[in-house]
Amino acid sequence: MFKKLASCLLLLLCFSLSAAAAEQRILVYGDSLSAGFGIGVSQSWPALLGQRLQAKGSRYSLSNASISGETTAGGRARFAATLARFKPTVVILALGANDGLRGLPVAAMKDNLAFMVKLAKKQKIKVLLVGMQLPPNYGAKYRDEFDAAYRDIAKREKIALLPFLLEPIALDRNAYQADGLHPTAAAQPKLLDHVWSALQPLLG
């Protein structure tokens, strides 16, 4: 009787460990550039990332908690609750673009991003920090400080960095919607490949 009970407990433990190993989640946490603004949500690069993971038979699933118009302050305010809800293994943190477009203080943006990175690390969550760059009309000083913020955080916190989300399409005007800010559906696969190159090493 004892042996039978022990065998059942061992099987239950193995099943639990297997289930835990299978439940690996990637959370995309960004703004309109990650939320699929102006295109079908299923056409956005995070949705395409989810499809790629599924096609590869990956143990990772994907959730997208990006919100159009989000700033780092807004992201910081809801970050703890979002982590508790999705329980991710990896977070793709892609915020800051709206801070820059609104000319908000870089120091505050940097503090907000660092807070989120540290909170994720405290929970043993891997982080890919995705940076942004601003147009020339924001002035060299502000642009340089803005760009350096991502590099400084990544270096200090020892996390992965993708310096510029839009790098593959930055100089291609046809890759943007009429507003000149948001990528078209046709440009999303290029963004996916760009993110994938930085994300893949984190997936083990």
Residues with catalytic roles:
32, 179, 182
Neighbouring residues of 103: CB distance < 8 A, sequence distance ≥ 6: 138, 142
Enter the tokens of residue 90: 């990896």
Please answer whether residues 162 and 23 qualify as being in contact, where contact means their C-beta atoms are separated by less than 8 angstroms. Answer: no
Neighbouring residues of 7: CB distance < 8 A, sequence distance ≥ 6: none
- Long-range CB pairs of 101-110, under 8 A, 24+ apart, other chains included: 101/134, 101/181, 102/71, 103/138, 103/142, 104/71, 106/142, 106/145, 106/146, 106/149, 108/72, 108/73, 109/71, 109/72, 109/146, 109/149, 110/149, 110/152, 110/153
Please answer whether residues 113 and 72 qualify as being in contact, where contact means their C-beta atoms are separated by less than 8 angstroms. Answer: yes
Query: 3-class SS at 195?
Result: helix
> Alpha-carbon distance 50 to 37, whole Å?
17
